[in-house]
Amino acid sequence: MMRTRAWIAAGAAGLLTAGVATAASAADGGPRAAAPRWHIVESVKTDISGEFTAIAATGKTTAWAFDGTGNTIAPRAYELSGGKWAKAPFIGKLDEEVIAAGATSPSDVWAFTQGFGSAKSRVLRWNGSKWSVVKTFADEIDDATVLAANDIWVFGEAAFPLQPALGVWHYNGSTWTQVSKNLQGGSALSATDVWGFSGADVEHWTGGKWVATPVKSLLPPVIPGPLNDPQVVGILAYSDSNVYALGNGVAEDEGGPVVVLHYNGHTWAKLAEGEYGFGPSPQFSTDGTGGLWLPMQGPVSGLSYLLHYAAGKLTPAVLPVGARGITIDSVARIPGTTQQLAGGSTHSADNSDVVAVLLQYS
């Protein structure tokens, strides 16, 4: 879910999903504005490692995006400035991937890497002129929240039993402090108010302790026979009375289904459910009018989606490439607008021809 999570934010009532732009005559005979739609704004031909895995929108015309899964090439950074995307200097390493990004301004951008194998996870910062390493962790970062330069949160939980876990860490601008819990992800409101998730529980930190609330009854039911493990997979908090969580049935092979949950300050409720496999990515976003954009990563050669949640419904977005030819990994709202940026890749059916792409909804 930066979901920022400077790259992620949510709200409460909806917007229609992206569609084909139209121009119709108004009652007075004048043309109506074209409806917003998703379109590709940058393409980078690469190998199978290429895809834009994280985005930080830093202003209405500025942003950063990070390309590469670290398998055969080190991750790369691209900066939007002056209306153009361009490759920028970056300190990415082989065997790491940028899994989250956030920003407080164009001169305060954060990238969080997840290391593979023996590679370490890192917290990287752009200060307006150069990238530097702020912190290195031996264990995997799964998620992060950027609130301010002196209020950064990272989350990580062991993927397998007996595997070391990162836990939850807070950075106050000078010191990193571990906050005693292993969580898969989180969304912070302040240094003493953090929401997180693990398994079928939502967790809330109020500065002194974590309080767990089971939401198992709201998740998709266990399917008899196939291996599946319904759990919470993302969270985004706007206040302590306006918190969104994503759930998934995690069925073997096909994944899903997905559910959207909401907390109103008193109770958790299920708002929507859809039979969409795998995903959603924790990098989901508000649509600026109370809805959500949810990247849904599919299985290899399977269907991927970019879902739009609004007014109790989940609807697949119309994308410039069919669902079997595109995967969306991340999405971020452009500050102060209802426009969005999204990153991922287009690919042939056998994944032999991969192009990393950035899309914009406008």
pLDDT at 9: 32
pLDDT at 266: 96
Segment 106-146, tens digit of pLDDT: 999 999 999 887 789 999 999 999 999 999 998 889 899 99
Residue 25 DSSP class: B
* Residue predicted with more confidence, 7 or 163: 163
- All domains of the chain, ordered by start, with CATH? 38-361 (2.130.10.10)
What percentage of the chain carries pLDDT values higher than 90?
A: 57
Cα 95 vs. chain centroid, distance in angstroms?
21
pLDDT of residue 3: 36
As a whole number, the mean pLDDT across the chain is 84
pLDDT band at residue 47 using 50, 70 and 90 as cut-offs: confident
Question: Could you tell me the CA-to-CA distances from 165 to 57, 127, 177, 189, 234 in Å, in that order?
Answer: 29, 29, 15, 23, 18
Mean pLDDT is lowest, of 24-28, 210-214, 308-312, 327-331, for 24-28
The predicted structure's pLDDT at residue 227: 76
Mean local confidence (pLDDT), 217-225: 86
| pLDDT of 204 above 80 | yes
Closest CA relative to residue 246, chosen from 265, 272, 212:
272
- For the chain, the 3-state helix, strand and coil shares in percent, each to the nearest 5, are 0, 50, 50
pLDDT for 15 beyond 60: no
pLDDT in tens, 68-94: 887 788 999 999 999 999 999 999 998
Summarised one tens digit per residue, pLDDT across range 277-290 is 666 666 789 999 98
What distance in Å separates the CA atoms of residue 265 and residue 71, rounded to the nearest whole number? 43
Gap between the Cα atoms of 38 and 359, Å rounded: 6
**pLDDT for 215:** 98
Coil, strand or helix at 142? coil
Spatial contact of 54 and 68, defined as CB atoms under 8 Å apart:
no
Supply the pLDDT for residue 352. Answer: 66
**Looking at the predicted structure, is the pLDDT value of residue 172 above 80?**
yes
Q: What angle do CA 173, 121, 283 make, to 5 degrees?
A: 80
Full-model pTM: 0.87
Q: In the prediction, which pLDDT does 11 show?
A: 31
pLDDT of res. 45: 85
Residue 29: predicted pLDDT: 58
Greater pLDDT, 165 or 6: 165
- Which tops the pLDDT comparison, 46 or 218? 218
Per-residue confidence (pLDDT) for residue 207, from 0 to 100 = 87
pLDDT at 31: 63
Determine the average pLDDT of the residues in 160-175: 81
